[in-house]
């Protein structure tokens, strides 16, 4: 039996972040993209996802979505026989990053969200490649569609998030840890840590990708997810 796949997008992203994967996998199983915009805490977002998700499901999250996914398995790991963590971070937020949140939120509330995304966030997202500008343009479109209030709620949730290393150490399902080699926001070392914490996890690094391999290397990302989903279905 093929389990439903629940996808959790990153900060200021929506289902378009997983567009290639939705197109490829929807003919094979139920694919659900959850909204991560309503609460200003990782805990509240996890509760909301669990209330809307099927009884048992495979769970994949990218960046902020991965952070929420870790909180979900901390709360209800028996409902999640498969966990995929993409370009994310299991640790509480670094103080230097926390210090940047308030000025960014002030700019967003003052009508300068586009400036924040263009100057402070988007340049950190991607590896160099022929499709880089198209992906950057899509990131900006998603962010501007979601707007400044979502930016502030998600910034607060990320700022105040808990450390999830114990939740990963306790997880026993089929697990994939995947990242882009050139991810500057969530470097390879963070993924090596997650891989070391989750017993039996699969670890994959995608060359030529930064923080958003679902869009930068969609074929390779989808193939990795298919391998993980097969392990989850048969686990």
Q: Which of 176, 177, 178, 175 is nearest to 207 (CA)?
A: 178
Residue 176 CA to residue 86 CA, distance in Å, equals 8
CB 217 within 8 A of CB 211: no
Compute the distance between CA of residue 49 and CA of residue 47 in angstroms, rounded to an integer.
Answer: 6
pLDDT tens per residue across all 235 residues of the chain: 899 999 999 999 999 999 999 999 999 999 999 999 999 999 999 999 999 999 999 999 999 999 999 999 999 999 999 999 999 999 999 999 999 999 999 999 999 999 999 887 666 678 988 889 999 999 999 999 999 999 999 999 999 999 999 999 999 999 999 999 999 989 999 999 999 999 999 999 999 999 999 999 999 999 999 999 999 998 7
Q: What is the pLDDT of residue 182?
A: 94
d(CA 45, CA 67): 10
- In order of their start, the domains of the chain are 5-94+156-233 (3.40.50.1820)
User: Which pLDDT value is given to residue 21?
Assistant: 98
C-alpha distances in Å from residue 110, one per residue of 114, 116, 144, 148, 150: 11, 11, 14, 9, 14
Check residue 120 and give its pLDDT: 74
């Amino acid at each position: 039996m093929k389990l439903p796949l629940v996808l959790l997008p990153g900060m200021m992203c929506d289902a378009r972040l997983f567009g290639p994967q939705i197109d490829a996998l929807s003919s094979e199983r139920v694919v659900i993209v959850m909204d991560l915009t309503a609460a200003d805490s990782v805990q509240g977002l996890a509760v909301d996802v669990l209330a809307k998700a099927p009884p048992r499901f495979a769970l994949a999250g990218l960046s902020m979505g991965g952070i929420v996914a870790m909180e979900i398995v901390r709360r209800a790991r028996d409902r999640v026989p498969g966990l995929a963590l993409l370009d994310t971070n299991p640790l509480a937020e670094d103080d230097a990053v926390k210090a940047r949140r308030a000025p960014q939120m002030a700019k967003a509330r003052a009508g300068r969200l586009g400036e924040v995304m263009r100057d402070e966030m988007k340049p950190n997202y991607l590896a160099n490649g022929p499709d880089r500008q198209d992906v950057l343009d899509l990131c900006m479109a998603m962010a501007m569609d979601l707007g400044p209030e979502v930016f502030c709620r998600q910034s607060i949730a990320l700022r105040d998030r808990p450390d999830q290393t114990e939740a990963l150490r306790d997880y026993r399902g089929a697990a994939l840890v995947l990242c882009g080699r050139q991810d500057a926001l969530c470097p390879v070392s963070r993924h090596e840590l997650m891989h070391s914490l989750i017993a039996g996890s699969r670890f994959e690094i995608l060359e030529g990708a930064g923080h958003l391999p679902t869009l930068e290397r969609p074929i390779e990302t989808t193939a990795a997810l298919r391998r993980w989903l097969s392990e989850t279905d048969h686990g």
